[in-house]
Amino acid sequence: MAGKTLYDKLWDDHLVKQRDDGSALIYIDRQLLHEVTSPQAFEGLRLAGRKPWRLDANIATPDHNVPTTDRDKGVEGIVDPVSRIQVETLDKNCDEFGILEFKIKDQRQGIVHVIGPEQGATLPGMSIVCGDSHTSTHGAFGCLAHGIGTSEVEHVLATQCLVQKKMKNMLVKVNGKLAPGVTGKDVVLAIIGKIGTAGGTGYAIEFGGEAIRGLSMEARMSICNMSIEAGARVGMVAVDDATIDYVKGRPFAPKGETWDKAVDYWRTLHSDDDAEFDKVVELDGSAINPQVSWGTSPEMVTGVEGSVPDPEQEADPIKREGIVRALKYMGLKPNQKITDIQLDRVFIGSCTNSRIEDLREAAAVVKGRKVSPSLKQAMVVPGSGLVKAQAEQEGLDKIFIEAGLEWRDPGCSMCLAMNADKLGQGEHCASTSNRNFEGRQGFGGRTHLVSPAMAAAAAVTGHFVDVRELMN
Amino acid sequence: MRAFTQHQGVVAPMDRSNVDTDMIIPKQFLKSIKRTGFGPNLFDELRYMDEGKPDQDCSQRPINPDFVLNQDRYKNASVLLARSNFGCGSSREHAPWALDDFGFRVIIAPSFADIFYNNCFKNGLLPIILPEEVVDQLFRETEENEGYQLSVDLEAKTVTTPSGESFSFEVDDFRRHCLLNGLDDIGVTLEDADLIKDYEEKRKQTAPWLFNAGH
């Protein structure tokens, strides 16, 4: 019999019941909650007279609606009354049901997918859910992490289980070493460009290979984060020394003898040598250049040296029409060089790229330079209050501010523009976020997905440029 | 949950692939703490010429006459015919809530994104996967025949055209069972409460760090 994949092991370790009809009950170790996808779930519990199954498995924080300025005012600082009600509702629900919440003025508040790993609330081998598709982020720790809908949030609150059908196994193997200046974000964009936005549908993806092994935990998080942009609910990386070193000493991580016992288990969280995958995709990591998306789907991406495609060259009529529609929305011409795209705004932040390493990479590029006068705005939004504090301790805030970037407070911000941070109609933005859908960052806004270093390079030049030209 | 057994209704064609959930219901409407009322803002950016805001009277807004749901022949549609990877992107359940609130009961496409597909079943909406060439045929027939309707039978797992041509589709037994009977799946899971407790007891022995960490 063939060995097990990492996904097989995680599945087996969380299986409560296999039903005859092919569905299964999977136990959930951790649920992260935020204000947008939880109110109807709590209301559902209340209407049915149910209580949460296990309080200590849940952690909540407001992130999508929070403003990134004037945070000392707390909830009162949320100008939009509808947004304020949603954040107040989360506070009220967590207080009523007794769920731990990092509230808006708590330094531990931040984007759910940043604070889980930061607190050690994300531990290797856990099953983790959140009413947010980017929950795949936590798979970087060898976790089984799913994004779920609100009905499932309620189901997990009430039962600590999720009804699932086992997915297929896919290995995405990135061989070789990445070139300097090429980041985890570029790797995942290149993967999505190769397999397409539905390439991972129905699969749990494990990212492996020399290039992935050589990446930091934060870079691995950026990669797993965007599994969903390749269609996969679950993305994972096997546990190694980097994983264990990252977790050690964090507030929710085990200590003493329990730590040693945990590490022994975590060391088993990798695919066996003879494990069989339903699909294997290989990429040459050394051939990946910094990536820039040009269209309105994350698969519409190319290297910075490339050009916008010409729909006339596309044989598939549905794809051709998709390109025509995307170019019209994006205001781009066929064959236009990526480096000729002029920008209006730059956004560095989001659950994909707002951790300390991301900010260090961006700061290294803008240091001693100035934001291009052609830009209307360039902003940096750290992923959590603790990331912000760390960056300030390292002096990164001063580097950004001196270069002319705005230094904001933590939250999802312009990634999806539920707060006041948004693009105007027709504006082009170099964004370190994860989705370039029509209207995602604001009505009529035009998003180009890039790494933090590439966004920083775009900020100081006003257009896309290969960041390696600015690195010494 | 509302049960789904059979449905017959007018078909509206949404002729583009990779329709994402941001397109189905834009973010500004996710600020609601309710499950209902999203229908007027379904496909907001495609349907109207201006930028939509929560709690607005949508009947006063300038509409995009080219958008399919604004055409008289599709206004009462309850079956949405779509292209591949429908519902990709964000996990927001507001997307099926908006489709449901508008009046859709069935969505037919060659493929769906996983989370959206799953969310539909929780809300009495039936997503049906049919082969690409069948979907092509249904698009042609819908566009050629005003008032074109399809009949869907979940028990028999069939979609039938006005001419009597019938196509079978696959759906998981568990999902089909819950939908046919309108079951509350939390209630179904809680029937196994003892199994869940047994699992927890074992897990406390083998992986004690997973319980009461940091609390």
Q: How many domains does chain A have?
A: 2
A265 and A307 share one domain: no
Query: Cβ neighbours of residue A335 under 8 Å, at least 6 residues apart?
Result: A307, A308, A309, A310
Residue A349 shares a structural domain with residue A256:
no
- Co-location of B151 and B210 in the same domain: no
CA angle A284/A285/A290 to nearest 5° reads: 120
* pLDDT at residue A318, as a whole number: 86
Domain membership of residue A430 (yes or no) is: yes
Other CB atoms within 10 A of residue A339 CB? 17
Mark which of A260, A289, A318 sits at the end of a domain: A289
Which of B101, B195, B210 should be substituted to probe chain A, the one whose Cβ sees the most A Cβ atoms within 10 Å?
A: B210
Residues A56 and A180 in one domain: yes
Is position A392 within any domain? yes
> Residue B215's pLDDT band (boundaries 50, 70, 90)?
low
B118 and B150 in a common domain = yes
More confident residue, B214 or B2: B2
Same-domain check for residues A235 and A330 = no
Average pLDDT over residues A445-452: 98
CA distance B137 to chain A (A): 15
Q: What is the pLDDT of residue B212?
A: 82
Q: How many residues are given for chain B?
A: 215
For range A177-190, the mean pLDDT: 97
* Residue B103 and residue B91 share a domain: yes
Asked if pLDDT for residue B198 goes beyond 80, the answer is yes
Mean pLDDT score of chain B: 96
Contact A439 B20 (CB under 8 A): no
In a domain, A472, yes or no: no
Is B54 a domain residue? yes
Q: Are residues A147 and A118 in the same domain?
A: yes
* B88 CB within 8 Å of a chain A CB: yes
At B184, the pLDDT band (50, 70, 90 cuts) reads: confident
pLDDT value at residue A472: 66
Domain shared by B169 and B201, yes or no: no
Which pLDDT score is estimated for A1? 76
Q: Do B210 and A29 touch (CB under 8 A)?
A: yes
Q: What CA–CA distance (Å, rounded) separates A273 from A253?
A: 29
**Sole residue written with tokens 């569905």:** A23
Structure confidence by residue, pLDDT tens digits, A360-405: 999 999 999 999 999 999 999 999 999 999 999 999 999 999 999 9
User: CATH number, domain at A246?
Assistant: 3.30.499.10
Residues B45, B118, single domain; the answer is yes
Sheet strands side by side (includes A345-348): A406-407, A377-380, A345-348, A428-431, A446-449
The distance of B33 to chain A (nearest Cα, Å) reads 5
* Pairwise CB contact (< 8 Å): B214 & A322: no
Chain A: closest CA distance from residue B76 (Å): 26
The more confident residue out of A318 and B87 is B87
* Residue B1 within any structural domain of the chain: no
Where are any strands of DSSP class E within A239-322?
279-284, 291-293, 301-303
Domain membership of residue A407 as a residue range: 291-467
Say if residues A145 and A212 touch (Cβ distance below 8 Å).
no
Task: Tell me if A348 sits within 8 A of A358, measured CB to CB.
Answer: yes
B25 and B114 in a common domain: yes
**Cβ atoms of residues A348 and A359 within 8 Å:** yes
B200 to chain A: which residues are within 8 Å by CB? 27, 54, 160
Is position A86 within any domain? yes
CATH code of the domain containing B51? 3.20.19.10
CB–CB of A318 and B83 under 8 A? yes
Nearest chain A CA: its distance from B209 CA (Å): 6
> Measured between beta carbons, which residues in chain B are less than 8 angstroms from residue A43?
33
DSSP designation for A146: E
3-state secondary structure A171-224: EEEEECCCCCCCCHHHHHHHHHHHHCCCCCCCEEEEEECHHHHCCCHHHHHHHH
A20 and A164 housed in the same domain: yes
Contact residues on chain B for A83, CB-CB shorter than 8 A: 31
**Position A414 confidence tier, pLDDT thresholds 50, 70, 90:** very high
Q: Does any domain span residue B44?
A: yes
**Domain termination site, one of A289, A306, A336:** A289
Question: Which of the four pLDDT bands, split at 50, 70 and 90, describes residue A321?
Answer: very high
**Based on the domain organization, do A190 and A313 belong to the same domain?**
no
What average pLDDT does range A6-21 have in this prediction?
Answer: 96
- For residue A154, report the phi and psi dihedrals to the nearest 5 degrees: -65, -40
Name residue, tokens 């597909």: B117
Q: Are residues A207 and A125 in the same domain?
A: yes
- How much of chain B exceeds pLDDT 90, in percent? 95
* pLDDT at position B213 over 90: no
Q: Which domain holds residue B100?
A: 6-183
pLDDT-based confidence at residue A185 (cuts at 50, 70, 90): very high
Based on the fold, state whether residues B64 and B160 are members of the same structural domain: yes
The C-alpha of B19 sits at a distance from chain A's nearest C-alpha, in angstroms, of 9
Query: In this structure, are A171 and A246 located in the same domain?
Result: yes
For A239, A266, B77, the CA distances from A244, given in Å and listed in that order, are 7, 8, 54
In tens, the pLDDT along B94-128 reads 999 999 999 999 999 999 999 999 999 999 999 99
Q: Is residue B166 part of a domain?
A: yes
Domain co-membership, B98 together with B167 = yes
Establish if A18 belongs to a structural domain. yes
> Is A415 annotated for ligand binding?
yes
- Together in a domain, B31 and B47: yes
Counting the structural domains of chain B, the total is 2
Q: What angle do CA A403, A405, A407 make, to 5 degrees?
A: 125
Residues from chain A contacting residue B111 (CB–CB below 8 Å):
198, 201
Query: Which of A90, A102, A119, A133 should one mutate to test binding to chain B, selecting the residue with the greatest count of B CBs within 10 A?
Result: A133
| Cβ under 8 Å to A: B residues 122-181 | 122-123, 172-175, 177
A351 annotated as ligand-binding = yes
User: Do residues B104 and B199 share a domain?
Assistant: no
- pTM of the entire structure? 0.97
Residues B17, B84 share a domain: yes
SS3 (DSSP) at A429? strand
- Residue-wise pLDDT for A19-57, tens only, equals 988 899 999 999 999 999 999 999 999 999 999 999 999
Question: Are residues A35 and A14 both part of a single domain?
Answer: yes
| ipTM for this model | 0.96
Higher pLDDT, A138 or A318: A138
A424 pLDDT more than 90 = yes
Residue A197 is predicted with a pLDDT of: 97
pLDDT of residue A457: 98
* CA–CA min distance B35, chain A (Å): 6
- Give pLDDT, residue B214: 63
Pick the last residue of a domain from A235, A256, A289. Answer: A289
Question: Does the distance separating the beta carbons of A82 and B54 come in below 8 Å?
Answer: yes
Q: Is there a contact between A258 and B93 if contact means CB atoms under 8 Å apart?
A: no
Of the candidates B101, B98, B127, B133, the one whose C-alpha atom is nearest the C-alpha of residue B114 is B127
Contact state of B30 with A418 under an 8 Å Cβ cutoff: yes
Q: Is A143 annotated as a binding residue?
A: no
Tell me the mean pLDDT in the region A5-25: 96
Q: What is the pLDDT of residue B5?
A: 97
Same structural domain, A358 and A394: yes
Q: Are residues A225 and A98 in the same domain?
A: yes
Question: Does a structural domain hold residue A17?
Answer: yes
What average pLDDT does range A286-315 have in this prediction? 98
B132: enclosing H helix or E strand = helix B132-144
